[in-house]
Chains A and B, each alone.
Chain A
Amino acid sequence: MAETREAGTAPSRLADVKARIGHVPLIRKSGFIYSFLAVLVLYAVFLLPASGPPSVLELVVIVLFGLLFGAWAVMVFTDELKPEALKTAAAFAILFVGAWLYYRYSTARWGEMTHLFFNLKIIRTAWPTLVKGFWTTLLLAVSAAVVSTILGLLLAVFRSFNNLVLNVFIIAYVDFFRAMPIIVLMYLIYYALPFLGIRLDAIVAGILALGLNSSAYVSEIFRAGFLSIKKGQIEAAHALGLNPLQTMRLVILPQAFRVVIPPLAGNYVASAKDTALCSAISIIELLKAGLSEQSMRASPSPLIFVTVLYLVMFVPLTRFSGLLERKMKAGQRQINL
């Protein structure tokens, strides 16, 4: 039998681990967690000041309560062995306690609050303006998308000629419109250009600004799409006797299409979100409609409604375009194998 090292010498190095078995750290003991919770409840019942705006001393008491409660929640969340149900309860408890504290100590009057922020009657009267705003937003988004796609594609095609002179101009264009904030561009087009004699409708100015800005990104997306086609494919096409136009139509574009769709979708969604900026140059799109109704009726309900509408529109869209991008990355990995 082979010579065993350290046979029968020092005791197992895990002796101290063994000794500590059964020893549960204090903050992990169920007893501790639940009694801490009981202490917090007692604190809330007896020590928290009455409702209404707190003095400085009372504020310290409240903040201390909040911190202790937060510490309790952290103890629960970081313990792998605590049941998921307790962690769920802790998560909801944080929300409720936070909201309850705010409700109790702020100057806001909550009954009136719901009526204020979610006043259906006011929203109903504001409805026609809001609907018009929605259609304007849609018009802006679609027009900007069309403009940016045509411009972007043209720029990408001319960039692919690799001509030094053209490249200088195209790169300058792309740098310019990627660096320029859209809202500054809109101000320039709508407020400054008239002094040069170029007077554009607000909507045209908006579409122009959105389209020019987006076209810079679109051109880069198409350019990446063209570059993703391996040179060997183009050479093979030429060897087969296809002319450049046929090569573009039958070989390059179908493949570039697949590479280009996910980032393009993301770009269109981002551009659609940017239509909200048109409110700054007095276009009555959705955001401006909400704002003007808010000031007209002295109620934030239209604005809140508009915000909800934006979320309803864009959360699915953002998720969808994110899904596309992930599918493309996964697909690419398989191809490279």
Chain B
Amino acid sequence: MSETSPTDVMIEVIDLHKHFKDLHVLKGVNTKVTRSEVVAIMGPSGGGKSTFLRCLNRLEEPSSGHILIEGVDIMAPYIDINKVRTEIGMVFQSFNLFPHLTAIENVKLAPMHVRRISEREATERGRALLDKVGLSDKADAYPEQLSGGQQQRVAIARALAMQPQIMFFDEPTSALDPEMIGEVLDVMRRMAGEGMTMLVVSHEMGFIREAADRILFLADGLIVEEGTPEKIFGDSQHARTQDFLSKIL
């Protein structure tokens, strides 16, 4: 692995633990993510994949451990977590668009009120992004008028409008009908090609094989195995990984 300068390590996770009442969901996860890396997180359900991702922007409160985003320990008390979150865009399984706003209003809300740019600039940026995800004609539509795939693409545009350094995807295609999965994966592929740092929790093997630089196999709260797609899919070392892969491939 080539030498990585400090600003290249976007995310560093040190001994992350998470308890839900009596359930010990994350049992000491350690990993690093470098700039422009596309990391896929796989594993059996209940293994802690979503919880792990959501701990990284403190949507879930970690029980112990350290998380460094661009060198900043976000577990520090009284840290301005809102500022940190502007650097991380998140796309959810259930889209979570704001139903009382149109697509363009969804996209320009955060840039206007968090980054405090002018409405004109936010609208320009928003229209450009909606164009980029292929939805420029739907700018004034409400979420309920859009299909699942269209809503998810608006959600991606909304996250990108904040110009984050990192993008999180929590099972972005799991709630979509099969014919709409492709359009969303296309957008994600393009983003990876442009050098965005991405963490993706997903089961989409095709996408992972093509676009991921590294796969983290998370089971029972720990990273059982990690490596390139060729290594994991072709020559995995652990029985657990092999067991999981045999069930889904």
What residues make up the interface of A, taking CB atoms closer than 8 Å to B? 1-5, 7-8, 11-14, 16-18, 20-25, 28, 81
A sample of 25 cross-chain residue pairs with beta-carbon separation below 8 angstroms, ordered by A number, consists of A1-B36, A2-B36, A2-B192, A2-B193, A2-B195, A5-B194, A5-B195, A8-B7, A12-B7, A12-B72, A13-B70, A13-B165, A14-B69, A14-B70, A14-B83, A14-B87, A17-B72, A17-B79, A20-B80, A21-B72, A21-B73, A21-B76, A22-B76, A24-B77, A81-B77
Q: B77: which A residues are within 8 A, CB to CB? A: 24, 81
CA distance A12 to B79 in the complex (A): 16
CA distance A81 to B76 in the complex (A): 11
Check if B35 is an interface residue, CB within 8 A of chain A: yes
One of A3, A18, A23 near B71 (C-beta < 8 A):
A18
Q: B194: which A residues are within 8 A, CB to CB? A: 2, 5
Known: A13-B87, A18-B72, A22-B76. 18 other contacts (CB 8 A): A2-B36, A2-B195, A3-B195, A4-B35, A4-B195, A5-B194, A8-B7, A11-B7, A12-B70, A13-B165, A14-B71, A14-B84, A14-B87, A17-B79, A17-B80, A24-B77, A24-B78, A81-B78
8 A Cβ contacts from B49-88 to A: 69-73, 76-80, 83-84, 86-87
B224 → A minimal CB distance (Å): 27
8 A Cβ contacts from B83-121 to A: 83-84, 86-87
One of A7, A17, A23, A25 near B35 (C-beta < 8 A):
A7
CA distance A11 to B192 in the complex (A): 23
CA distance A16 to B72 in the complex (A): 10
Q: B192: which A residues are within 8 A, CB to CB? A: 2
Query: Are A25 and B78 in contact, CB atoms less than 8 angstroms apart?
Result: yes
Q: B73: which A residues are within 8 A, CB to CB? A: 21
A-B residue pairs, 10 tightest by C-beta: A2-B195, A12-B70, A18-B72, A21-B76, A14-B72, A17-B83, A4-B36, A4-B195, A14-B70, A24-B78
8 A Cβ contacts from B209-248 to A: none
A24 → B minimal CB distance (Å): 5
8 A Cβ contacts from B1-48 to A: 7, 35-36
CA distance A21 to B80 in the complex (A): 9
CA distance A54 to B79 in the complex (A): 46
